[in-house]
Amino acid sequence: MPDHEFGFRTRALHAGTPPDPTTGARAMPIYFSSSFVFDSTEHAAELFALRTYGNIYSRIGNPTVAAFEERMASLEGGLGGIATASGLAAQLTAVLSLAQAGDHLVASANLYGGTVTQFTVTLKRMGIECTLVPGDDLAAVRAAIRPETRALFTETIGNPAGNVADLEAWADAAHAHGLPLLVDNTFATPVLCRPIEWGADVVVQSATKFLSGHGTVIAGIIVESGTFPWGAGRHPLLSQPSPGYHDMNFAETFGEYAFLMRARAEVMRDVGACLSPMNAWLLLQSLESLPLRMPAHVANARIVADFLRGREEVAWIDYAEFADSPYHAAARKYLPDGAGAIFTFGLRGGRPAGRAFIEALELWSHLANVGDGKSLVIHPASTTHQQLDDAQLRASGVTPEMVRLSVGLEDPADLLWDLENGLRAARLAADREALGA
């Protein structure tokens, strides 16, 4: 075995998928099997006691899903991965692996609306509190930390406001208090940012977005760095005997693997939000082209952003690629190859102009997703963020006139042609509104 460090593009194609040892199949087979036979009762006992590696039941692990997990762990630079049924399932699984009733999280307020409700409503019902703080205010982050805090949480690029987190400062704040930093890397993908390299301990993402890249599957992924001291005492779920696994002390028994082992053996087992092998296989196909797709997304996004910025119908545009963005410096540091392909802008004329704009578009798809190869558009205030109250809406950076674009891979001239039609409709609607018609 030669000693060689393989590059990112090579790993996107190969990591986790050597030829199948049994058949020699070069492409990863889809292991559609709910369960896997034991060779003996002793083998079964060793598997259930976590003393040997192997497949038991596809809710806990599956060979095709494991290949996707290993490839993502390789691309993010982590110790291992756990794939889940969705991005929200990835977050829930990660949180439940380190926190229980009575515990507390500190999270940026500039998050995806679904995450805000998961953290402030659903987790609260389960007894886990979450304090939301302005993502740029590290003093507020530190001030919100309590003795029962178990983790800090931010998105690399906030959805939808496009704020870029100062990941090193977040990691320093977390580690100074003996806490792990959890980062949602969905908008950047490991092509544009690898949060573990900046101190993050757990990376979660919705694999539904750019990782899938074709708008086909719902999926999530957790990758853990393997460097956080889970046994230091701040996380009793990992450093105390677990009644959920015959009093196993995960930190003592598994060392750096403690988080991943508990997340799989207890949380995946009991919560059950597992990924289908079919979806894992589709994701493995998609990851092969991820390093080629992301730069193309970024290139198209820059063209579209430049086009909109020069238009009188556009009141404002937030994209960290622009030098006058408050997040430009952070983007240059953490996203040197581009601040992603999702950004927001505001139309003059408010809500009626926004409605007219979206309804005039022919090529851009009006739907609640991002990170598709096809270009997407949405009005967050009436869709993804409609469950937030006004204060939460403002805190998460959403305004009534805001339109979010997810720039795809079409010919840029076609994207601009369609936007031109949308802007014309928006201008007419704004004029009608101004005339009181």
The helix (run of H) or strand (run of E) holding residue 416 is: helix 412-435
26 vs 125 by CB, closer to another protein: 26
Question: Which residue type occupies 105?
Answer: L
Give the interface size with another protein as a residue count (CB under 8 A): 54
Q: How far is the CB of 91 from another protein (least distance, A)?
A: 18
Cβ contact 273:85 at 8 Å: yes
3-state secondary structure of 173: helix
Stretch that binds another protein, among 43-51, 303-311, 356-364, 397-405 (CB under 8 A): 43-51
Name residues whose C-beta falls within 8 Å of residue 329's C-beta, 6 or more positions apart in sequence: none
Distance CA 179, CA 174 (A): 5
Q: Does 39 bind another protein (CB under 8 A)?
A: yes
In the region spanning residues 219 to 258, those forming contacts with another protein, defined by CB under 8 A, are 247-249, 252-257
In the region spanning residues 346 to 405, those forming contacts with another protein, defined by CB under 8 A, are none
84 vs 406 by CB, closer to another protein: 84
Q: Does 3 bind another protein (CB under 8 A)?
A: yes
Q: How far is the CB of 253 from another protein (least distance, A)?
A: 6
Going by C-alpha positions, the residue among 218, 235, 180, 202 that lies closest to residue 80 is: 202
15 vs 181 by CB, closer to another protein: 15
**Both tokens of residue 292?**
């080629």
81 vs 338 by CB, closer to another protein: 81
Long-range contacts of 71-74 (CB under 8 A, 24+ apart): 71/11, 71/12, 71/15, 71/16, 71/17, 71/284, 71/287, 72/190, 72/207, 72/211, 72/221, 72/223, 72/287, 73/15, 73/223, 74/11, 74/15, 74/16
* Contact string (CB under 8 A) for another protein, positions 71-110, x = contact: --xx---xxxxxx---------------------------
3-state secondary structure of 257: helix
Q: Does 1 bind another protein (CB under 8 A)?
A: yes
13 vs 315 by CB, closer to another protein: 13
Distance CA 111, CA 197 (A): 22
Among the listed residues 27, 35, 54, 368, the single contact to another protein using CB under 8 A: 54
Dihedral of CA atoms 84, 339, 387, 375 in degrees, nearest 10, equals -80
3 vs 312 by CB, closer to another protein: 3
In the region spanning residues 258 to 277, those forming contacts with another protein, defined by CB under 8 A, are 260, 264
Among the listed residues 19, 272, 326, 336, the single contact to another protein using CB under 8 A: 19
Stretch that binds another protein, among 64-72, 206-214, 346-354, 416-424 (CB under 8 A): 64-72
Q: Does 190 bind another protein (CB under 8 A)?
A: no
b/e per residue, 229-244, with b = 16+ CB within 10 A?
bbbeebbebbbeebee
Among the listed residues 8, 70, 100, 271, the single contact to another protein using CB under 8 A: 70
Q: How far is the CB of 362 from another protein (least distance, A)?
A: 42
42 vs 414 by CB, closer to another protein: 42
45 vs 126 by CB, closer to another protein: 45
Stretch that binds another protein, among 14-22, 110-118, 330-338, 347-355 (CB under 8 A): 14-22
Among the listed residues 28, 31, 58, 67, the single contact to another protein using CB under 8 A: 67
Kindly write down the DSSP assignment for every residue of 278-307, as one continuous string. HHHHHHHHHHHHHHHHHHHHHHHHHHHHHH
Q: Give Cα separations from 337 to 114, 170, 191, 194, 332 (angstroms).
A: 28, 21, 8, 12, 8
Q: Does 414 bind another protein (CB under 8 A)?
A: no
6 vs 417 by CB, closer to another protein: 6
3-state secondary structure of 71: helix
N-term to C-term CA, the chain: 75
205 strand-pairing partners: 221
Q: How far is the CB of 266 from another protein (least distance, A)?
A: 14
Dihedral of CA atoms 380, 341, 191, 188 in degrees, nearest 10, equals -30
223 strand-pairing partners: 81, 203
3-state secondary structure of 337: coil
Q: How far is the CB of 6 from another protein (least distance, A)?
A: 5
Which residues are near another protein by CB under 8 A?
1-3, 6, 10-11, 14-16, 18-22, 24, 26, 39-40, 42-43, 46, 49-55, 61, 63, 65-67, 69-70, 73-74, 78-83, 247-249, 252-257, 260, 264
